[in-house]
């Protein structure tokens, strides 16, 4: 694999729990090439979400460096991180996290409110994103009127609407049945292979991990690489 | 305002709650604009006695107690008094008890010169002098009730005539206008000589005297001289400015200004609690959503602004409806009020500015703590909480 998109060096993250200091990540090194689709597996509480938060600029390491697309996230201010996230990364969560008061269309348009696009351009781009995830006909529905799989598709549309290079998915199929989960995973594959998105997906489901190009295992705050099955 | 759609939708996340909140804001501002207008009419910026050019003499006990007509010449003789005349409260209604306006028996030759702002064509004034049952009415009143010169208008009054009838008939002989800014012409004036001769009781009395001062006369000294003259008589007097006179109409209602302030204070305290509570609940319910906005790249300050804007929006909607309803109600009762105390009611530009300022301040105050909470939210913690 060629060019490196994300590079973690000696990343540690510890939390203060009462008087105790808990180290969730311990001097972790990781490289993610452009165009990768990597699954991250590991037991519950092993630090998978924490790792994803580092990659997405939602959290900073206690020590070590996080570089994504040439940007040194570990040294950015909150506002710099906000700006960076709005253009470089899309997030997909287990529970979709759509705004219940907005239609699918308006949910997808949200990230574009931070750009200079006109209302018309925002609507057009959101329509394209909804089309890519196969939900063009549900644009005017509220989240409550959609199935779980459809909600997750809207969330994916929202994650790709500002055309970021990196997609971070935290248990994206954790709340879906097998069949729906497979559809969502296929959609992620398409986004990876046809739309050139680099994808990092946290999952505890081995079957889901099979859709990725490779799988990394997190244990005791460190990575251990194994060949994908 | 590209965030407006988002703010608007968020504000209506719980429709009933938002509606009830807006309703309480509406009531608060309706009260604000109504009470403010009434308070200003009662207490607002009238002339102080030092700068007054007209003084009013009433019975020391109250406006309701009459003064003898014999005081006229005695008041005229007080140094510093230029012209003096009198008027009396008639208190009748036209056709329906709800149709009340100011009706005063007066002296056609002496009364009008004291009020140069009341203008009437000379030939109509002449007709007033020569028609015993004549009456002159303000243009606004004539318009309201469709009075025209030549009309015979019956008024029902608390004053019985000698034959026991409480219906008095008048012939409209003139229409007057008030040329002073903001002055009212909602008055119905008729002749005292006709009134006094025909009425059953209280003959030889008047309601109050009104006088103008000679150039250079000191109003305070003149007022004291008049009141001193009637001290220890059966009908002692109290001389004050016209505005003070107008307000004495309402004195029975107590200290209006203070009551107004107390009510408004209580109303706005409640308003802050209600709206503040709505906003606190609203933010608590969507910690996760606010964290998602931040995840998408909305800055902390933007999230603060969105929550604050929502709280201001709710208050401004309620407040503006309160303003509209208040202005409408005031316009509807203004004439009646003006006929009673000579001052109309409206939303003054002063209370408009104050009202809008209060809307913004209340919006900020009731939203600031939830908004700060939303701003300080860290994404990682909030998402972990769900
Ligand atoms: N904000 C936090 N404060 C304290 N401890 C935390 C915080 N976030 C995560 N942790 C702890 O870090 C560990 C790893 O969490 P996480 O990355 O969410 O694990 P995973 O996603 O692999 O289940 C857990 O033990 C969790 O309790
Ligand atoms: Mg997790």
Express each pLDDT in A1-27 by its tens digit.
Answer: 479 999 999 999 998 888 899 999 999
Q: What is the mean pLDDT of chain A?
A: 93
Q: What is the pLDDT of residue B315?
A: 95
- Structural domain ending residue among the three candidates B198, B219, B251: B251
* A4-17 sheet: strands from edge to edge: A20-33, A4-17, A63-68, A71-72
B222 and B351 together in one domain = no
What six digits make up the tokens of A150?
């459809």
B206 and B151 together in one domain = yes
**A162: CATH:** 3.40.50.300
On the question of pLDDT at A143 being above 90, the answer is yes
B55 and B19 together in one domain = no
- Asked if residue A51 is part of any domain, the answer here is yes
Rounded to whole angstroms, the Cα distance separating A154 from A105 reads 8
Q: What is the pLDDT of residue B45?
A: 46
| Residue pair B175/B120 in contact by the 8 Å Cβ criterion | yes
Read off the pTM.
Answer: 0.70
B263 and B331 together in one domain = yes
B186 and B117 together in one domain = yes
Can you list the alpha helix ranges (DSSP code H) found in B230-255? 242-248
Residue B10 to chain A, least CA–CA distance (Å): 6
B219 and B263 together in one domain = no
B183 and B285 together in one domain = no
Q: Ligand 1 pocket check: which of A49, A170, A216 to mutate, most ligand atoms within 8 Å of Cβ?
A: A49
What six digits make up the tokens of B105?
């028996």
Nearest residue of A to residue B376 by CA position? A78
Q: What is the pLDDT of residue B52?
A: 67
Instruction: Count other Cβ atoms within 10 Å, centred on residue A96.
Output: 23
> Can you say whether residue A134 is alpha, beta or left, with left for phi > 0 and alpha for psi between -120 and 50 degrees?
left
Residue of the nearest CA to atom 9 in ligand 1?
A: A50
B278 and B132 together in one domain = no
Q: Flag if A97 and B6 touch (Cβ within 8 Å).
A: no
B157 and B213 together in one domain = yes
A97 vs B contacts (CB less than 8 Å): 288-289, 292, 295, 383
Alpha-carbon dihedral angle through residues B193, B195, B198, B201, given to the nearest 10 degrees: -110
Q: Does the CB of B293 have a partner CB in chain A at under 8 Å?
A: yes
Tell me the backbone φ, ψ of residue B131, rounded to 5 degrees. -110, 115
What is the enclosing helix (H) or strand (E) of B177? Answer: strand B167-178
B378 and B261 together in one domain = yes
On the question of pLDDT at A227 being above 70, the answer is no
- Asked if residue A222 is part of any domain, the answer here is yes
Rounded to whole angstroms, the Cα distance separating A102 from A120 reads 17
A154 vs B contacts (CB less than 8 Å): none
Rounded to whole angstroms, the Cα distance separating A221 from A86 reads 28
Domain encompassing residue A46: 34-57+87-227
Q: Flag if B295 and A114 touch (Cβ within 8 Å).
A: no
Q: What is the pLDDT of residue B264?
A: 83
| Alpha-carbon dihedral sign for residues A226, A44, A158, A85 | negative
B60 and B184 together in one domain = yes
How high is the mean pLDDT in each 10-residue block of chain B (386 residues)?
91 94 94 85 56 83 89 94 93 88 92 90 94 93 91 91 91 90 81 93 92 87 92 90 65 64 84 92 92 96 96 96 93 75 76 92 94 93 75
- Asked if residue A26 is part of any domain, the answer here is no
Share of chain A above pLDDT 70, in %: 97
- Asked if residue A161 is part of any domain, the answer here is yes
B100 and B168 together in one domain = yes
- Asked if residue A23 is part of any domain, the answer here is no
- Asked if residue A201 is part of any domain, the answer here is yes
Does ligand 1 lie within 6 Å of residue A13's CB atom? no
Nearest residue of A to residue B300 by CA position? A79
- Asked if residue A157 is part of any domain, the answer here is yes
Q: What is the pLDDT of residue B46?
A: 47
B386 vs A contacts (CB less than 8 Å): 95
Q: Ligand 1 pocket check: which of B291, B380, B386 to mutate, most ligand atoms within 8 Å of Cβ?
A: B380
Counted domains in chain A = 1
Q: Does the CB of B376 have a partner CB in chain A at under 8 Å?
A: no
Q: What is the pLDDT of residue B299?
A: 95
**CA neighbor of A172 nearest in space, from A185, A157, A189:** A185
Q: What is the pLDDT of residue B47?
A: 46
Counted domains in chain B = 2
Q: What is the pLDDT of residue A224?
A: 78
Centre of ligand 2 from the C-alpha of residue A45, in Å: 7
Domain encompassing residue B56: 49-251
Nearest residue of A to residue B291 by CA position? A97
- Asked if residue A107 is part of any domain, the answer here is yes
């Amino acid at each position: 694999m060629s060019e490196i998109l994300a590079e973690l060096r000696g990343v540690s993250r510890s939390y203060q729990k009462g008087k105790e200091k808990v180290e969730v990540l311990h001097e972790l090194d990781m490289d993610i090439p452009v165009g990768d689709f990597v699954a991250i597996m590991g037991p519950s509480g092993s630090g998978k979400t924490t790792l994803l938060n580092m990659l997405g600029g939602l959290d900073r390491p206690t020590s070590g460096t996080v570089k994504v697309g040439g940007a040194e996230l570990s040294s950015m201010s909150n506002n710099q991180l906000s700006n960076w996230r709005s253009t470089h990364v899309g997030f997909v969560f287990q529970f979709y996290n759509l705004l219940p008061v907005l239609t699918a269309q308006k949910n997808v348009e949200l990230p574009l409110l931070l750009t200079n696009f006109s209302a018309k351009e925002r609507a057009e781009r959101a329509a394209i994103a909804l089309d890519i995830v196969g939900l063009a006909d549900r644009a005017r529905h509220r989240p409550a009127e959609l199935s779980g799989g459809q909600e997750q598709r809207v969330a994916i549309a929202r994650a790709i609407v500002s055309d970021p290079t990196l997609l971070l998915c935290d248990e994206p199929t954790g709340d879906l049945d097998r069949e729906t989960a497979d559809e969502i995973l296929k959609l992620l594959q398409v986004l990876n292979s046809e739309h050139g998105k680099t994808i990092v997906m946290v999952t505890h489901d081995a079957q889901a991990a099979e859709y990725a190009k490779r799988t990394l295992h997190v244990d005791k705050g460190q990575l251990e690489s194994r060949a994908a099955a | 305002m590209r965030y407006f759609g988002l703010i608007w939708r968020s504000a209506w996340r719980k429709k009933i709650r938002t509606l009830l909140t807006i309703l309480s804001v509406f009531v608060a501002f309706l009260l604000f604009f109504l009470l403010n207008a009434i308070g200003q009419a009662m207490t607002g910026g009238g002339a102080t006695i030092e700068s007054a050019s007209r003084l009013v003499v009433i019975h020391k006990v109250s406006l309701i107690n009459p003064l003898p007509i014999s005081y006229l010449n005695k008041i005229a003789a007080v140094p510093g008094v230029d012209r003096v005349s009198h008027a009396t409260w008639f208190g009748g209604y036209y056709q329906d008890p709800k149709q009340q306006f100011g009706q005063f028996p007066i002296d056609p030759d002496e009364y009008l010169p004291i009020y140069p702002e009341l203008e009437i064509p000379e030939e109509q004034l002449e007709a007033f002098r020569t028609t015993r049952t004549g009456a002159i009415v303000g243009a606004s009143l004539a318009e309201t009730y469709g009075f025209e010169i030549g009309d015979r208008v019956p008024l029902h009054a608390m004053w019985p005539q000698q034959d026991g009838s409480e219906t008095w008939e008048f012939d409209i002989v003139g229409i007057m206008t008030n040329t002073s800014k903001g002055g009212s012409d909602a008055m119905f004036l008729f002749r005292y000589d006709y009134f006094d001769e025909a009425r059953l009781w209280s003959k030889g009395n008047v309601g109050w005297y009104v006088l103008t001062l000679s150039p250079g006369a000191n109003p305070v000294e003149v007022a004291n001289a008049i009141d001193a003259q009637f001290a220890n008589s059966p009908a002692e007097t109290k001389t004050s400015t016209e505005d003070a006179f107008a307000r004495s109409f309402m004195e029975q209602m107590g200290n209006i200004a203070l009551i107004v302030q107390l009510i408004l204070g209580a109303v706005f305290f409640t308003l802050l609690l209600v709206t503040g509570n709505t906003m606190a609940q609203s933010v608590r319910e969507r910690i996760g959503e606010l964290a998602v906005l931040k995840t998408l790249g909305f800055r902390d300050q933007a999230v603060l602004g969105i929550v604050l804007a929502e709280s201001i929006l709710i208050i401004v909607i309620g407040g503006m409806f309160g303003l509209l309803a208040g202005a409408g109600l005031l316009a509807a009762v203004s004439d009646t009020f003006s006929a009673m105390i000579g001052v109309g009611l409206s939303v003054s530009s002063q209370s408009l500015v104050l009202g809008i300022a209060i809307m913004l301040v209340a919006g900020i105050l009731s939203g600031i703590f939830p908004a700060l909470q939303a701003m300080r939210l860290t994404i990682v913690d909030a998402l972990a909480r769900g």
